[in-house]
Structure 1
Amino acid sequence: MTEGIIRVIGVDQQGEGKVNESMLAGCKAVVLTGRFHCCLPASAESLQRIPISPLTGAIESIRDHLSSGDVAVLASGDPLFFGIGKKLIKEFGRNRVKITPAVSSLQYAFARFAIPWDDAAFVSLHGRKHHNRVAALLTRPLTAVLTDNINRPEMLAAELLQFVGKNDEMMKIHVAENLGMPDERCVSGTLAEIAAMTFGNLSCMIIVRNEVSNSSGKSSFGLIEDEIIHSRGLITKNEVRASALHALAIPANAIMWDIGAGSGSVSIEAARMQPDTLVYAIEKEEEQQHNILANIARYGVANIQLVSGGAPEMLAGLPRPDRIFVGGSGGNLAEILRHGADELLPDGRIVVSAVLEKTRKEAPEILYQCGLKVDLRQIEVRRCCYPSGQTTTFNPITLIVGRSVSR
């Protein structure tokens, strides 16, 4: 006897109409949530109704009923868009699952605000945890978010606001609440405005980053010194910066500390290269802090947070890092490296840029004593203009690289 198939039927978010009788023909049971009972036609009275929660129990019931016929599963919107479709295909295989989608809540949300969404990124926090979710929500031009009672729009806005601080104007937030219901509400505002509101459990959030004219057409890597706001020539030179970023080998969805960030040149390039990475730029000099903020605004990089103050004291409370770059230590090299090594995540790296001979001698030993694998790279930069032949030679820089051992 041929076993039945699973008919996954998307239910319109607007709650308009009932499921077509033909979609349920041959079905022996239907899996659904309580709010979808009203969507069943009168002819479905004879079908056994199986609650979708708990999901493990629902799947076992589906398996039992397939031997006698088809099973219908009612799901919100498009079952393949952060829905149950993926789970059912994994459990039963593609050949036994037939999907009939409806319009999703996010499609309706984009329509409400008249925002084209063909280039949007999508994040679901509905019943899910997302590693490094601040970066996931901040760093794309257009991001749509499915929220829940734990991750409500005002909570997310407050979390993002805490990270971006004064750069709140870099984005606009749209929230669609209770779509298709009598108490539907659609509002738009800044992070601060949305954070001050209260929303229900059924909300969609759209984050629109403002376009930054200064960053258009710029490669994500390879900014030159004249393109980065800095003071008195205090900037990590192009060639050294490139080598440092190579040594850091920053992965996606990482946390990075840039200690003694100066003008923020390393932070800016790291943030642009890996937009899903959060970069904490720690800098104690007020002039350089202004430069960092100016460069963040110039290039529209929302995934950098300025931490005003010195290290190691300002490192307390920061998320544990995957990568650490030390461009300046303010005389606290040993304390910074020991604290950094203690906090470094498995497979992490610390890269120290050493201008002084004292740093070049002390940093490798400190990192080694902290249990890291250490190597040194000396960089000597000489630039020559053509055809004049004018040559500029810079002081040699040593990069000390410490790698944590996987635990």
Structure 2
Amino acid sequence: MHDFKIHIVGVAEGEVAPHLVAMVANCRLIVAAGSMQPLLEEQLSGYPRAQIVAITPLSAALQTIAFHAEKGNIAVLASGDPLFFGIGEALTRQFGTDKIVVHPAVSSMQLLFARLNVPWHDARFISLHGRKAGPQIPDILASPKVCLLTDRENDPAFIAAEILHRISPRQRSCFSLFVGERLGGAGERIIAGSLEEIADQQFAQPNTVLVLQDWSGEIAYPIFGLGEQEIEHSRGLITKNEIRAAVIHALRLPAHGIFWDIGAGSGSISIECGRLARGVQVFAVEKNREQLEHIAGNRETFRAWNIEIVTGEAPAALQELPAPDRVFVGGSGGRLADIVAAACTRLKAGGRIVISAVLDATRDSAPELLHAQGLAVEITTVAVERRSYPDPHPTRLNPITLITGDKNI
């Protein structure tokens, strides 16, 4: 029985590596994108046109590959490294590791870094192919060196405009963008510019984008444990350090998911959670204009770009938000019952709600409200005493009760 293989052959700078041409020519079938037609005509001019199959739509290509896979070797031509944001993963998943042989080439991302003479071992790589760029902007902003694979919808101008929409004017000067058009092919071009300059241009496809941020001179804040004096706030209106730590521990943040911070105040809980769990999308809900300004300032200072600021009062402001995995209620404005009902209804199975209670009324009513919604309830009271040695006189903070509800169904 023949052990036929599916050869995934990387294409770089407009050609198949010379030592692979004969192998490809002897395959029963070649699967390739229409853009590779010039390559096929130049390097494989004698190959029967009837045995060349389009790679899109992918579902049809997979069916064709499956039909021929036991009758002879197949070559699938793919740009760059097929296992780096490429078709290699889909083919391996469909046909199994033993059936696949990968012949990688230099990717467009590698070419862009090489053309710019910029090291790439410390870069972040994101593919926007077939995805909405908007939700990826926090990931793009979270690293000083990010390389992007674009598509026609998520083109460089759109990406630059999305970044401009998110950041403040004073941050714009720290960004430098580089666009590599048709890298390795005819008509290759490198364009450098600011966010404003890139947002105002059109670019040839395909293209790859490098986003650089100058973070030199910035304060190296800890990953967790920001001090009250470091977080912008008004008149002492901030969740104290020790209480913040207890709240975040009680939340048991997932690696990915949705977190509602209701009555976010200065955003101290949102900021620490957003920085700890970059894969969590944080919605900081607040109605006070001064506090909203603090949240925006803190988000910028600490680069917690996975925080969405929601202006409004709960529960009405919660209606358009995606269903949460975690909820923290730090302020209810006298509407705790309505907030709990709305949050519990939307809370995902396995989700958790934490309510912070300073007032006796909240401490007494919150457990019953959560229990009535079918959540398993735990209550913890945190009392904090601070003292700086050798001063013998302690400062005692108001005790805080944390009420936790788990949705186990």
Q: What range is the shorter-chain TM-score in?
A: 0.7 to 0.9
Change (3 A) 1:321 1:42: closer
Q: Deviations for 1:298-352, whole angstroms, at most 9, x for unmatched residues?
A: 3222222333443334334333322221211222222322222233333222211
Q: What does 1:8-407 correspond to in 2, within 5 Å?
A: 8-12=8-12, 14-15=13-14, 21-24=21-24, 26-40=26-40, 41-42=43-44, 44-46=46-48, 48-128=51-131, 132-164=135-167, 169=172, 171-179=175-183, 180-182=185-187, 184=189, 186-190=191-195, 194-195=198-199, 197-199=201-203, 202-211=206-215, 213-216=217-220, 218-406=221-409
- In the TM superposition, what is the alpha-carbon distance from 1:175 to its structure 2 partner? 3.7
- TM-score relative to the length of structure 2: 0.85
Letter in 1 for 2:14: G
Q: Deviations for 1:354-391, whole angstroms, at most 9, x for unmatched residues?
A: 10001111222222333333221111111233333331
Query: Aligned partners of 1:212, 1:318: CA distance in 2, in Å?
Result: 36
- In the TM superposition, what is the alpha-carbon distance from 1:171 to its structure 2 partner? 4.8
- In the TM superposition, what is the alpha-carbon distance from 1:205 to its structure 2 partner? 3.3
Query: Aligned partners of 2:349, 2:161: CA distance in 1, in Å?
Result: 30
SS in 2 for 1:23: helix
* Segment of structure 1 superposing worse, 31-40 or 41-50: 41-50
Q: Deviations for 1:5-60, whole angstroms, at most 9, x for unmatched residues?
A: 22221112x42578653332532221212222321324642472222233344334
Is the 1:279–1:303 contact (alpha carbons within 8 Å) kept by the matching residues of 2? yes
Q: Deviations for 1:160-218, whole angstroms, at most 9, x for unmatched residues?
A: 5555566763755444444434385635332x6655555565333333344274442x3
Listed as ranges, the gaps of 5+ residues in structure 1 are none
Change (3 A) 1:276 1:42: closer
Is the 2:355–2:402 contact (alpha carbons within 8 Å) kept by the matching residues of 1? yes
Letter in 2 for 1:367: L
Change (3 A) 1:331 1:159: farther
Percent identity for Structure 1 against Structure 2: 43
Query: Aligned partners of 2:30, 2:304: CA distance in 1, in Å?
Result: 48
Query: Aligned partners of 1:302, 1:86: CA distance in 2, in Å?
Result: 30
SS in 1 for 2:211: strand
SS in 2 for 1:50: strand
Change (3 A) 1:199 1:366: farther
Letter in 2 for 1:37: Q
Is the 1:248–1:349 contact (alpha carbons within 8 Å) kept by the matching residues of 2? yes
* Segment of structure 1 superposing worse, 125-134 or 218-227: 125-134
Listed as ranges, the gaps of 5+ residues in structure 2 are none
Query: Aligned partners of 1:112, 1:316: CA distance in 2, in Å?
Result: 48
Query: Aligned partners of 2:119, 2:265: CA distance in 1, in Å?
Result: 39
Is the 2:178–2:210 contact (alpha carbons within 8 Å) kept by the matching residues of 1? yes
- TM-score relative to the length of structure 1: 0.86
